[in-house]
Structure 1
Amino acid sequence: MKFVIQRDHLVQSVQDVMKAVSSRTTIPILTGIKIVASDEGVTLTGSDSDVSIESFIPKEEEDKIIVDIQQHGAIVLQAKFFSEIVKKLPTDQVEIEVHSSMQTVIRSGTSEFNLIGLDADEYPHLPQVEENNVFTVPTDLLKAMIRQTVFAVSTSETRPILTGVNWKVENNQLICIATDSHRLALRKAPIDLAEDAIYNVVIPGKSLNELSKILADNNEGIEIVITENQVLFKAKHLLFFSRLLEGNYPDTSRLIPNESKTDIVLKTKEFLQAIDRASLLARESRNNVVKLSTIETGDIQISSNTPEVGKVVEEIKSQSLEGEELKISFSAKYMMDALKALEGTDIKISFTGAMRPFIICPINDDSILQLILPVRTY
């Protein structure tokens, strides 16, 4: 195998596939990156058997030569060393050549590295995904849907299914739901389906985080293929495979209250900053609790009290307040996460009592919802 490649294209592809490479794998060859040179260009693959990423560098793009393939072939190189070498090479062109005993030479300018490669035939094959039902989501929408839900997945392995985001496709819409049983994030969006396909799968939160990092910020469509145990995201020159979590996701629709006793409309930014300030003193305590109370003027009071540190009290103007008086305590962190995920200058918070879950939505937008369970304070 021998080719000469533009360094910036190689660096970008290596960075993308590195997101799937784990140093903790039980399969030694998966600590490497697979490199294949063919007539069309160079393909790099990284995998930890849960997530696999394939990045393709075409021979030329927009009439510019990116890769000059001199000899076909394939090799697996240690990801840790290869990625560091590529980043620090001195010139814009990199030559990679593999000799008969898998000795791999990487040249750039006056710099030359020799790496011992592994046999590419030993590298596990990527999942075979039959592309029967493909649907497309614009990249920026997909990234927004991930950002607005993935933070609410559970970090505890006691219920593995909750470490993923539940994706449901039905009635030509995609619904993403994440919960760690103390809070819930929901986002839905209309999508175009070729036929009335119905899916209900759980994608690991970790996979979605990595996917979001490597997708370019543009409005091009990402093709999504869901099978029984895999999901494939196809972007330009990029394939991202993730295994699905096994098991049934809990029915979260029962958690979401459909009536409320107190409704408050607030300016998102003002409310977020007030919670942030109140949490400064709450952080010392184990659960970071902030209290919200309605006051007679129709505004609300935010407070927190940590006996050994001190207390903070702040009043915020509400745009409107309807319903019963209320005193409720909740995690400042959960509230701040939820507010950061919401889009819109004004939000409505609907409460159904001091110990019942409450929901936060942007005004006049039912495509996104955040739910938080209050904290019992004695």
Structure 2
Amino acid sequence: MHFTIQRNKLVEAVNDVMKAVSSKTTIPILTGIKITALEDGVTLTGSNSDISIESFIPAEEEDYQHVDIRKTGSIVLQAKFFSEIVKKLPSETVDIEIQENLSARIVSGSSEFNLIGMDPDEYPQLPQISEHHAFQMPIDLLKQMIRQTVFAVSTSESRPILTGVNFRIENDELICVATDSHRLAMRKAPIESGLIKNFSSVVIPGKSLNELNKILEEKNDTIDIVITGNQILFKTKYLLFFSRLLEGNYPDTTKLIPMDFKTEIIISAKEFLQAIDRASLLAREGKNNVVKLTTYEEDNQIKISTILPEVGKVEEFVPCESLSGEELKISFSAKFMMDALKALDATDVKISFTGAMRPFLIRPLDQDSILQLILPVRTY
């Protein structure tokens, strides 16, 4: 194998696949990046037990040459050293040549490195996925849906299924749900489901989706999403991102979402978020980071407060655009509320309560494709 490649293209691809390389693996070959050079370009692959990432650099694109392939072949190089080397090479091009005994000669400008490689035949094959269960959606929409749900996954391994985001398609609509049993985030979006009409829901690890979101660029292109038995593939023009799926049945969250409300407020999301943020300066010193909300219908405002006997207290009144229903005092996690408001990304929000000890909903005004649900905290 022998090729010369644009260093910036190589660095981009290395950064992408490094997100799938684990230094803690018990399989030595997986500490490496597999590099394969064919006539049409160079493919880099990184893999661990959860995700596999393949990044392709075309030899030519729009009459611009990224790679000059002198000889085809493949090698696996230690990811830790290779990634650091390519970032710091001095020239705009990099020449990589595999010599005898799987030794890689890496030359850029006046700098030359020699790395001992590993046998590419020992590198595990990426999953073979039939594209029968496939659909497409805009990349920027997928990134938004992940961002608006993934923060609500559980970080506890006591219920592994809750550490993922539930993807399901119903009536040409993709529904993404995440919950840690104390809060829930849901986002819906219409899609063209292609060859697939209905599939039983799948659960994608939250960690996988976070890594995918870091790699995907904000642009108008579409992404293919392909589902098979225990794997999901996200596929763009030059990137393949495989993730394992979590096993088990995701709980039926539709039963958690209340339909009848006793108190509703409409409020500026920014003002409400800032008030919660200020109250949390004291609240986070407490065990549960709890703030209290009290409604005052006659004044059309709410009070946000926190009292910590050993520290002090904070009170702030926030005007509402509208407030209706029963008077209410309710306590909840300041962090959960701030996470929810940031995810909604709305100017005004409607908050619907069913009582002091019942779950409540936060939604953008006049939009039903997204909602956040939070369980209150019992305070004595």
TM-score normalized with structure 1 length = 0.99
- Which amino acid is 1:93 matched to? T
> Contact 2:300/2:321 (CA < 8 Å) preserved in 1?
no
Q: Partner of 1:273 in structure 2?
A: 274
CA contact (8 A) 1:170 1:199 kept: no
**Paired positions, count:** 378
Match of 1:297 in 2: 299
Amino acid at match of 2:248: G
Partner Cα separation in structure 2 for residue 87 and residue 245 of structure 1: 35
Cα deviation for residue 24 of structure 1 reads: 1.2
CA distance in 2 between counterparts of 1:70 and 1:27 reads: 31
On the 8 A contact 1:203/1:244 being kept in 2, the answer is yes
Query: Which runs of structure 2 are paired with 1:1-378 in the superposition (5 Å)?
Result: 1-195=1-195, 196-295=197-296, 296-378=298-380
CA distance in 2, matches of 1:157, 1:37: 40
- The offset of 1:222, in angstroms, is 0.4
* Structure 1 unaligned blocks of 5 or more: none
Query: Secondary structure in 2 aligned to 1:101?
Result: helix
Contact 2:295 2:301 in 1 (8 A): yes
Take 2:344 and 2:351, find their aligned partners in 1: how far apart are those partners?
12
Q: CA deviation at 1:27?
A: 1.1
| Runs (5+) with no aligned partner, structure 2 | none
CA distance in 2, matches of 1:217, 1:347: 26
Q: Greater CA deviation, 294-303 or 253-262? A: 294-303
Matched letter for residue 312 of structure 1:
V
**Distance in 2 of aligned mates of 1:12 and 1:309:** 49
The normalised TM-score by structure 2 is: 0.99
Percent sequence identity is 70
AA matched with 1:29: I
Q: Give how far 1:322 is off.
A: 0.7
CA distance in 2, matches of 1:26, 1:232: 25
Residues in 2 aligned to 1:178 and 1:98: alpha-carbon distance in whole angstroms:
46
- Provide the rounded CA distance (Å) in 2 between the counterparts of 1:156 and 1:237: 34
Aligned mates of 2:194, 2:247 — CA distance in 1:
26
Separation in 2 of the partners of 1:73 and 1:48? 23
Aligned 8 A contact 1:167 1:199 in 2: no
1:257 and 1:358 in contact (8 A); partners too: yes
Q: Which runs of 4+ in 1 moved over 2 A?
A: 194-199
For residues 268 and 93 of structure 1, what CA distance do their matches in structure 2 show?
A: 49
Q: CA deviation at 1:228?
A: 1.4
Matched letter for residue 214 of structure 1:
I
Tell me, in whole angstroms, the C-alpha distance in 1 between the residues paired with 2:49 and 2:283.
41
Deviation at 1:62, TM superposition (A): 1.1
1:199 positional shift? 3.6
Whole-angstrom CA distance in 2 between matches of 1:27 and 1:129: 24
Moved more, 191-200 or 229-238: 191-200
Query: Partner of 1:13: helix, strand, or coil?
Result: helix
Q: CA deviation at 1:6?
A: 0.2
Mapped partners of 1:261, 1:373: distance in 2: 16
Q: CA deviation at 1:239?
A: 0.3
Determine if contact 2:136/2:194 at 8 Å carries over to the other structure.
Answer: no
CA distance in 2, matches of 1:174, 1:36: 35
- Bigger mean CA offset, 197-206 vs 326-335: 197-206
The answer on whether the counterparts of 2:329 and 2:356 sit within 8 Å (CA) in structure 1 is yes
1: CA distance between counterparts of 2:224 and 2:244?
16
Question: Quick one: distance in 2 between partners of 1:305 and 1:226?
Answer: 50
Q: Distance in 2 between matches of 1:238 and 1:60?
A: 16
Partner-residue secondary structure (3-state), 2:201: strand
Secondary structure, aligned partner of 1:273: helix
Matched position secondary structure for 2:338: helix
Tell me: CA distance 1:57–1:64, structure 2 relative to 1, closer, same or farther (3 Å): same
User: Aligned AA for 2:332?
Assistant: F
Q: CA deviation at 1:194?
A: 2.4
Amino acid at match of 2:218: D
Residue type of the partner of 1:363? L
Inter-partner Cα distance in structure 1 for 2:50 and 2:302: 47
> How far does the alpha carbon of each residue in 1:127-155 deviate from its partner, in whole angstroms, 9 at most, with x for none?
01011132111011000000000000000
